[in-house]
Amino acid sequence: ETGVTQSPTHLIKTRGQQVTLRCSSQSGHNTVSWYQQALGQGPQFIFQYYREEENGRGNFPPRFSGLQFPNYSSELNVNALELDDSALYLCASSSGTSEPYEQYFGPGTRLTVT
């Protein structure tokens, strides 16, 4: 059983550019959530996808968008990058949206915006 994987590991972008981050969920999981973890902070919920549909969104602007594919892998897209977007982006998968549930996190993608 493979765990949650994310790519790339590190990324450096320039302000105003666009970025796509990728996540492969754990086998058997149909729900993917994305989080942003700024330095010294806890992960902040961006949005969740369940069976290819957005199923909840945190307090992030529309330039943060996502996709989930039929194999339940997922992408996070960020347009018009700002310096404050520099953070660790975490993807987590789970087997459902009803509680209680446990989310299994990937190692994250470290994004630096200059």
Partner 1 sequence: DQQVKQNSPSLSVQEGRISILNCDYTNSMFDYFLWYKKYPAEGPTFLISISSIKDKNEDGRFTVFLNKSAKHLSLHIVPSQPGDSAVYFCAASAGKLIFGTGTRLQVFP
Interaction site with partner 1 (CB under 8 A): 4, 33, 35, 40-45, 48, 56, 58, 90, 92, 99-100, 102-108
Whole-angstrom distance, CA of residue 76 vs CA of residue 29: 18
Write out the two tokens for 108.
Answer: 């994250």
User: Which region, left, alpha or beta, applies to residue 10 given φ > 0 means left and ψ of -120 to 50 means alpha?
Assistant: beta
Q: What stretch of H or E contains 93?
A: strand 87-94
| 28/70 with CB nearer partner 1 | 28
| 9/71 with CB nearer partner 1 | 9
Greatest pairwise CA separation for the chain in angstroms: 40
- Tell me how far, at minimum, the Cβ of 16 lies from partner 1, in Å: 29
| 68/103 with CB nearer partner 1 | 103
- Tell me how far, at minimum, the Cβ of 66 lies from partner 1, in Å: 14
